[in-house]
Structure 1
Amino acid sequence: MRTVIARWMAGTSFLAALAVAAPAAAQETADPAVAPPPVAAEVPAVAGTTKMVFTPQDFARYAPKTAYDMLRQVPGFTIRNADQERGLGQASENVLINGQRVSSKADGAVGESERISASNVERIELVDAATLGIAGLTGLVANIVVKQSAAGGQFSWTPEMRAHFTDPIYTRGSVSYSGTAGITAYTLGLESGGGRSGAGLGRGTTISNAAGEAFEFRRDRWRANSDSLTATAKFGFDLAGGTAANLNVSAGPSWYDYRETSRRDRPTGVDRVREAHEEQDGWSYELGGDIAFGVGPGRLKLIGLTKYSKEPYISTAILDFLDDSLSSGDRFARTGKNSEHIARAEYGWKGGGADWLVSGEAAFNKLDSVSRIFLLDADGEFDEIDYPEGTGKVTEDRYEGLLTWSRPLGERLSLQLVGGAEYSTLTSTSVVGEQARSFFRPKGSASLAWKVSDDLDLSFKVRRRVGQLNFYDFLASVNLGNESQNVGNINLVPQQSWEFDVQANQKLGAWGTTQLRLFYRLIDDIIDIIPIGATGESPGNVDRAKRMGIELKSTILFDPIGWNGAKLDSTIIFIRSRLDDPLTGEPRSINGETRRLIELNLRHDVPGTQWAWGGGFFNSENAAVYRLTQRYRSWEGPYWLSAFVEHKDVLGMTVRAGVSNILNARSRLERVFYDGRRTDPVASRESRDRLIGPIFSLSVRGKF
């Protein structure tokens, strides 16, 4: 430490002085100061195709601590997390571990990669999904090849502070430890998650009448705190005779606390203050496992998973008048218990020059929910009123069978076909009675991968998909925040869609890579807000909708022009959608649909040093949300700009400091209320402009 202080006093930065004084063990990795940018080697995959292979040395310039750190720096690759669908079903996460899906719904292969030490990664392979015998995947897939070489762990600490309205978060971080004991490989982890958000004051909120005359001015401020603590454990067993088994466990509590104060001044009339509070303190667990072994000409894999969550939620809003008027208030309380049990079997074999996989799955989902509402009385106490429509049970029993066939069609073509169906029974029980319905739905996909040249790959996919339902939508509920309520809808059915994707992956040589994706969706029974009875509204099914878009993702390296160590990752998305409004019949966008997204991230690893710096730019636009009595659009922006500086060897750790919202993006909302439904005249308008302010972050990551 004396040496560190001496160097610091002599003019060296404190972080650099610490880095020089780091123990020798921290300097054993490849020097990132001179490492070249990642360049994939091509090796044969299935006949007529190749896969791009990255080794740990390719990522040395970024000084990664985990497999996830490497994955984020793969040129032209964007991580896609698993869709939260019923059961395990077809794969959707575009990350594999040792060529296999992770039998978990909690965080999947992406979450597991954050607990894999970079020193245990042998390579990362990029391959087109159509060349794999895994149903559901499309586009580029990253396979992380891991071999546990030595016991060790990694940790991270990521505190964040904001200048206005919010509490700091110091407890966010994670620690994990991996090792082997005989035939068992294990990874133990503990993650403290969460976030802080808030906004307020600024230009405030103006409420005006239909003629545009302001009659209320609001000075609001709110903050939201979310926290979670999750313990995880994974055990892999290398058994005799080529048998392999895995066991995954995760469990922990979560907390959410939201508070808002709104001072409401009226030029004429009584001023008032509104206090709102939301709280949810729940917990969940997941237990899953699988075993795979040889049977006949192929390999059988058996998977089981069970998960449970309890979600008690309370929302309270009180309006105090600044005279002798009595206060008014509402409270909505709900306790939901969710459970899911899954049993799945997969059998794969090779025959006739193709890979075959037959799979069967049974999934049982259940929601048991109790809701209560209260009104504030003259004595300042909340009295419960009758609300039976908010209480009930929803269950779904689903059975699925699929056959997957994959094979090369020539030197540069490969094809994957998936066909099957699902049968489900959906039962809802509430005050309106019990209803049970059964459905049979064909499903499947066809994917074609074409290697046009050494630098260009194309993939085509068509898929018939069955969507996911939110069981809470079957029951009545109240949202005090946006002043709306759902009456519940026992007639909901999952949406179905035809999905078409075309993707091109182009290598740019020393300049990097680019990826273009075109997609088109034809959707049946899409979920939207529909009229229920004479005055009610709730999520319900609309016959038809369509959605189309273009997505361009690129990694551009600037080494060819002499800016060594610099790169730009970009994502540009444009989306258009259409459905016929269930109230007016007029065409409009899908509720809240993202219409435009632009994200640019610059990083420069300074040659000859352990320093890196960079920044990001973000802009997005989303469509309005239509309810039957109001229409609104909320967003934060218009533009987000961030910057960071990073040192990759502070006593062996990577330390990064950043600041976001440099351009002073605001929290915005524009809302229109109607005198009845949206077919009636406008009653009032709300225009909100709240200050967010700068956001400061710190990241410390290391190994032990």
Structure 2
Amino acid sequence: MNTIRQHDPFVSASWAMEQAADRAIHLNARYAPSTFKLSQTNRVTPAIGPDRDDRLFQDFDTPSYELGGDISRPLAGGTIKFVGLANRRERENSESTLVRIAGMTVGGFEQLTDSRYDEVLGRLSWSRVNLLGLSFELGGEVAYNRLDNATELYLLGAGGARNRIDLPIDQAVVDELRTETYVNAGRQLSRAIRLDASLAFETSKLAVGGDADEKRSLKFLKPSVTLDWKPRGGWHAQLVARRKVAQLNFYDFIDNAELGADRVNGGNADLQPQRAWELRGTLEHPLLGKGLAKLEAGYDRIAKLQDRILTPEGLDAPGNIGTGTRRFVSLTLDAPLDSIGLKYFHLRSTGTLQNTRVRDPLSGKVRNWSDFWPDWQWEVELRRDAGKFAFGTTVSDRDSFTFFRTDETDRNINSKPFVTAFAEYRPDPKTTVRLDLDNVTQSAGQRERLFFTPNRSAPLPDVREFRDRNSHVGVALSLRRGF
């Protein structure tokens, strides 16, 4: 049983002075003091040993701050623009699990995390609608990111004993100085055909200090070409070829425990960003008058794919495992239904089929990518807006997906389609009363974990764990008032 208290208030402010498209100033600020508290009771029936009534407690304090703005001015027949952004995200988290037999605590774990992530970014660009017959943009960006993290993991004993577990990388500072210089150009080749191209050069200087000592410099060229075709009859086709480089999650460098899953995640100071060549093809056509039908297909080839590896200390950690591929096709239908007799109704549906493949470094077998990459997923939303009233429902489902850890596979399953519904009343333009129903079908979240010894190079698992987490209908009534 879960008792949850989650508060996500925020306050934001913005200011703008817009004299023209090339004469404008914008400023914005946001503060969000988010908190999350969980008290969970678990009834555990092990294969061997007495039944337990374990406890899980989480107390997360994660405030965030953001300040940004931009200024644009005319220059040399075009527009010069500067964009600045600074944000800070803090974590002060406390988490503990208690193993309890007959109402007595006999063991457990506690984890304390204190971290601060800062980002400062500046981008300067100059653009001109017509430069020698081309739409043109030249720019550069500088970003500095820093994570300062301290994690403490403790083993709890009977009677309140507390012993520190020293993780390999639990006290660390990660910082990165990243730059990007780019040029974009486009030209209308004919009434129906347009060609756009861009070239970016990215550099990264990254350092990890504290429990690890790692420094490296990386450089990437990122070209992109887009061909647009708009024949008559409302058709629109587009082909895109581009190279992309992922941004690293600095928390992947740090060791931490998942107490609710009874496992430790290693950090990897040698982690590198994955690099992808992407091909995209899109075909669009109007649907039922003002609607749109969109078909998209794509192929990705990714070098240094980020997945899970075994560290020298024997921990499961994020790491680069080689080259992976992804193929997908997606269909979106989005249209009002007035033309077929359903006045004020609007339907939006999406469906995706995809195939991800990579060779597993432990088993040697070809498998799907780890994490949220289901082979199929779909969603249908139907709503009606008429005057002061609106109501609607959304139905969605997906295939299972798997985390391939070094010593286990963790498969996540939906027991049935997930359904939400809402009804809304707007007595005046500034006031909205809304009723939301969440998980109308009471879909359960299920997990199947297979454990291997010593790791997944073993042909068969030696332990299977199945979790069925019931979730009931959630009801929320809200009142929103603008000023």
Which category of TM-score, normalised to the shorter sequence, fits these structures? over 0.9
Residue 623 of structure 1 aligns to which amino acid in structure 2? F
Of 372, 378, 387, which aligns to 2:152? 372
Supply the distance in 1 between the matched residues of 2:159 and 2:479 (Cα, whole angstroms): 52
Supply the distance in 2 between the matched residues of 1:581 and 1:362 (Cα, whole angstroms): 36
> Structure 1 residue 650: deviation in Å?
6.1
> Structure 1 residue 679: deviation in Å?
2.5
8 Å CA contact 2:287–2:334 kept in 1: the answer is no
Asked if residue 640 in structure 1 is aligned to residue 427 in structure 2, the reply is: no
Deviations along 1:651-671, one digit per CA (max 9) or x if unpaired, are 974433342323221121111
Residue 416 of structure 1 aligns to which amino acid in structure 2? D
> Structure 1 residue 253: deviation in Å?
1.1
Within-5 A mapping of 1:1-400: 221-238=1-18, 243-266=23-46, 269-322=49-102, 327-349=106-128, 350-387=130-167, 389-400=169-180
SS at match of 1:327: strand
Q: TM-score, normalised by structure 2?
A: 0.93
8 Å CA contact 1:511–1:559 kept in 2: the answer is no
Deviations along 1:616-655, one digit per CA (max 9) or x if unpaired, are 2111123211111111112344112333334443697443
Of 364, 375, 378, which aligns to 1:595? 375
8 Å CA contact 1:511–1:560 kept in 2: the answer is no
Supply the distance in 1 between the matched residues of 2:149 and 2:481 (Cα, whole angstroms): 43
Within-5 A mapping of 1:464-613: 464-510=243-289, 512-533=291-312, 535-592=314-371, 593-605=373-385, 610-613=388-391
Classify 1:479/1:658 alpha carbon distance in 2 versus 1 (closer, same or farther; 3 Å). Answer: closer
Residue 70 of structure 2 aligns to which amino acid in structure 1? D
Asked if residue 616 in structure 1 is aligned to residue 394 in structure 2, the reply is: yes
> Structure 1 residue 301: deviation in Å?
0.9
Classify 1:236/1:605 alpha carbon distance in 2 versus 1 (closer, same or farther; 3 Å). Answer: closer
8 Å CA contact 1:613–1:644 kept in 2: the answer is yes
- Higher-RCO chain (CA-CA 8 Å, sequence separation at least 6): 1
Residue 278 of structure 1 aligns to which amino acid in structure 2? Q
8 Å CA contact 2:288–2:336 kept in 1: the answer is no
Supply the distance in 2 between the matched residues of 1:583 and 1:424 (Cα, whole angstroms): 30
Residue 615 of structure 1 aligns to which amino acid in structure 2? T
> Structure 1 residue 442: deviation in Å?
0.2
Residue 228 of structure 1 aligns to which amino acid in structure 2? D
> Structure 1 residue 582: deviation in Å?
2.4
Classify 1:515/1:475 alpha carbon distance in 2 versus 1 (closer, same or farther; 3 Å). Answer: same
Supply the distance in 2 between the matched residues of 1:500 and 1:477 (Cα, whole angstroms): 36
> Structure 1 residue 469: deviation in Å?
0.8
> Structure 1 residue 451: deviation in Å?
0.4
8 Å CA contact 1:511–1:558 kept in 2: the answer is no
Supply the distance in 1 between the matched residues of 2:423 and 2:71 (Cα, whole angstroms): 45
> Structure 1 residue 378: deviation in Å?
3.8
> Structure 1 residue 241: deviation in Å?
12
Classify 1:363/1:511 alpha carbon distance in 2 versus 1 (closer, same or farther; 3 Å). Answer: closer
Deviations along 1:47-87, one digit per CA (max 9) or x if unpaired, are xxxxxxxxxxxxxxxxxxxxxxxxxxxxxxxxxxxxxxxxx
8 Å CA contact 2:87–2:119 kept in 1: the answer is yes
SS at match of 1:229: coil
Larger displacement relative to structure 2 (237-246 or 404-413): 237-246
Deviations along 1:344-380, one digit per CA (max 9) or x if unpaired, are 1101122112111001011111111111111213431
Of 429, 436, 449, which aligns to 1:671? 449
Supply the distance in 1 between the matched residues of 2:313 and 2:211 (Cα, whole angstroms): 19
Residue 322 of structure 2 aligns to which amino acid in structure 1? D
Supply the distance in 1 between the matched residues of 2:196 and 2:430 (Cα, whole angstroms): 46
Supply the distance in 2 between the matched residues of 1:240 and 1:688 (Cα, whole angstroms): 58
> Structure 1 residue 522: deviation in Å?
0.9
SS at match of 2:217: strand
8 Å CA contact 1:455–1:508 kept in 2: the answer is no
> Structure 1 residue 699: deviation in Å?
4.4
| Partner of residue 660, structure 1 | 438
8 Å CA contact 2:30–2:67 kept in 1: the answer is yes
8 Å CA contact 2:195–2:225 kept in 1: the answer is yes
Classify 1:536/1:241 alpha carbon distance in 2 versus 1 (closer, same or farther; 3 Å). Answer: closer
Q: TM-score, normalised by structure 1?
A: 0.65
Residue 635 of structure 1 aligns to which amino acid in structure 2? I
Between structure 1 and structure 2, the one with the greater Rg is: 1
Deviations along 1:180-229, one digit per CA (max 9) or x if unpaired, are xxxxxxxxxxxxxxxxxxxxxxxxxxxxxxxxxxxxxxxxx234443222
Greater strand percent: which structure?
Answer: 2
Residue 193 of structure 2 aligns to which amino acid in structure 1? L
8 Å CA contact 1:531–1:583 kept in 2: the answer is no
Classify 1:610/1:420 alpha carbon distance in 2 versus 1 (closer, same or farther; 3 Å). Answer: closer
Of 464, 470, 473, which aligns to 1:694? 473
8 Å CA contact 2:306–2:318 kept in 1: the answer is yes
Asked if residue 626 in structure 1 is aligned to residue 404 in structure 2, the reply is: yes
8 Å CA contact 1:366–1:395 kept in 2: the answer is yes
8 Å CA contact 1:544–1:579 kept in 2: the answer is yes
> Structure 1 residue 342: deviation in Å?
1.1
Supply the distance in 2 between the matched residues of 1:353 and 1:335 (Cα, whole angstroms): 54
SS at match of 1:472: helix
Deviations along 1:29-56, one digit per CA (max 9) or x if unpaired, are xxxxxxxxxxxxxxxxxxxxxxxxxxxx
Classify 1:480/1:652 alpha carbon distance in 2 versus 1 (closer, same or farther; 3 Å). Answer: closer
Classify 1:647/1:414 alpha carbon distance in 2 versus 1 (closer, same or farther; 3 Å). Answer: same
Larger displacement relative to structure 2 (445-454 or 394-403): 445-454
Of 181, 190, 198, which aligns to 1:418? 198
Q: CA RMSD in A?
A: 2.3
Supply the distance in 2 between the matched residues of 1:385 and 1:674 (Cα, whole angstroms): 24
Supply the distance in 1 between the matched residues of 2:269 and 2:9 (Cα, whole angstroms): 35
> Structure 1 residue 240: deviation in Å?
9.8
Deviations along 1:369-425, one digit per CA (max 9) or x if unpaired, are 111111213431423344463111111111110000012111011121111211111
Supply the distance in 1 between the matched residues of 2:403 and 2:234 (Cα, whole angstroms): 42
- Which consecutive residues of structure 2, in runs of 5 or more, have no partner in the other structure? none
Supply the distance in 1 between the matched residues of 2:256 and 2:436 (Cα, whole angstroms): 40
| Partner of residue 242, structure 2 | 463
Asked if residue 449 in structure 1 is aligned to residue 231 in structure 2, the reply is: no
Residue 40 of structure 2 aligns to which amino acid in structure 1? E
> Structure 1 residue 427: deviation in Å?
0.8
Supply the distance in 2 between the matched residues of 1:648 and 1:274 (Cα, whole angstroms): 46
Residue 618 of structure 1 aligns to which amino acid in structure 2? S
8 Å CA contact 2:22–2:79 kept in 1: the answer is no
| Partner of residue 24, structure 1 | none
Supply the distance in 1 between the matched residues of 2:430 and 2:61 (Cα, whole angstroms): 37
Residue 672 of structure 1 aligns to which amino acid in structure 2? L
- Which consecutive residues of structure 1, in runs of 5 or more, have no partner in the other structure? 1-220
Supply the distance in 2 between the matched residues of 1:602 and 1:386 (Cα, whole angstroms): 53
Supply the distance in 2 between the matched residues of 1:590 and 1:240 (Cα, whole angstroms): 48
Residue 427 of structure 2 aligns to which amino acid in structure 1? D
Larger displacement relative to structure 2 (458-467 or 297-306): 297-306
Larger displacement relative to structure 2 (632-641 or 441-450): 632-641
Residue 686 of structure 1 aligns to which amino acid in structure 2? E
